[in-house]
Amino acid sequence: MQSVTICLPYTLNSFTLRGVVQVFINRCQQGLPSEVIIDFVYLGFIEPAGVTFLSNFVHWLHHKETKCLFKNYDKYSPALRFLDDSLFFEMHMGKKVNIYSNPRQTTQHLRRVGHSQSHSFINMTLAPWLASTMQATNSSVYPFQACLSEIFNNIADHTERDNGSIFAQNFPKKREVKISIADFGCGIPHNVRTIAPSLTDNEAIIQAVELEFSTRSTPRNRGIGLDYLLQTVVGVNGGEVTICSLGGSVKFIPAQVGGAVYQVVPSAIHGFCPGTTIDMLLKADNIIFVEDRSEDLEW
């Protein structure tokens, strides 16, 4: 197969892209084509997860030595303007579609961050932006800052490539911030099945977030990071976390019944995510105020 065209759907998010990539994979039973053309003609709306998922997919195609071309990206609809402002085209084509496109104040533009730079990027750029957009003190967003560092630690610990793509958007009217991080490593289900081989992809994702579940990919891993993410974002903040990895997609939302911290909502729809995409939804109104001052530990 020489060339395959992928038509993006009207709405671009991890849910719709999983389906698109699954259809593409099904068409490539004999191996990936030498060239993929991504057609933007129907694109009308993009969510933050769509930006990182699509970018990660393009990186994955390049990694698989498949050339990736774009089509109908220059008609300049609002959705394409948003994608251009996110610096998607600059990242993947080397230049913006419109020279006047620039990252918006409500976003942290698309970046590909290696593990060695990830913590300083989070500390110096993302966390201050998060505090400012959520009108919170720096100390109030430290738990989210730690969660983001946990995700990049997971990428470094569990993938052969330690790069993650990240994009964030503030929705001021909804008082919400969405942050999406994607990598194209071997995927959470692949890692979990090294010690629990019978699990489906959804089951493997649910297992991976269990407190103290660890594949011990490094000797000091204790399986705390993803649990801390869910406790912080879903349990304390009342936000949501969605994890898409290989054939699995599971959303974690605040529990409706007493006792549990979160409710697990696995997707029943077939789809495929190269590597892992983690989406966080944070609620500005639920931020717990913490004063910006040091404190001593009271045992």
Which residues make up the interface to other proteins (CB under 8 A)? 119, 123, 138-139, 142-143, 145-146, 149-150, 153, 218, 220-222, 224-225, 228, 290, 294-299
**Contact of 253 with 234, CB cutoff 8 Å:** yes
Query: Closer to other proteins at the Cβ: 196 or 290?
Result: 290
**Cβ distance to other proteins smaller for residue 23 or 146:** 146
State the nearest-atom distance from the C-beta of 63 to other proteins, in Å.
25
Least distance CB 290 / other proteins (angstroms): 5
Alpha-carbon distance of 99 to 89, in angstroms, equals 11
Distance CA 260, CA 257 (A): 7
Alpha carbons 3 and 1: distance in angstroms, whole number: 6
Q: CB of 145: closest distance to other proteins in angstroms?
A: 5
Question: Residue 180 and residue 209: Cα distance in Å, rounded?
Answer: 17
Nearer to other proteins, 98 or 138 (CB): 138
Rounded least distance, CB 223 to other proteins, Å: 9
Outline where DSSP puts E strands in 103-197. 107-114, 163-171, 176-183
| Residue 93 vs 211, nearer CB to other proteins | 211
**63 or 222: CB nearest other proteins:** 222
Question: What tokens appear for 288 in the block?
Answer: 């717990």
Minimum distance from CB of 167 to other proteins (Å)?
21
Q: 248: which strand partners?
A: 245
Cα 91 from Cα 55, distance rounded (Å): 9
Query: How many whole angstroms separate alpha carbon 214 and alpha carbon 160?
Result: 17
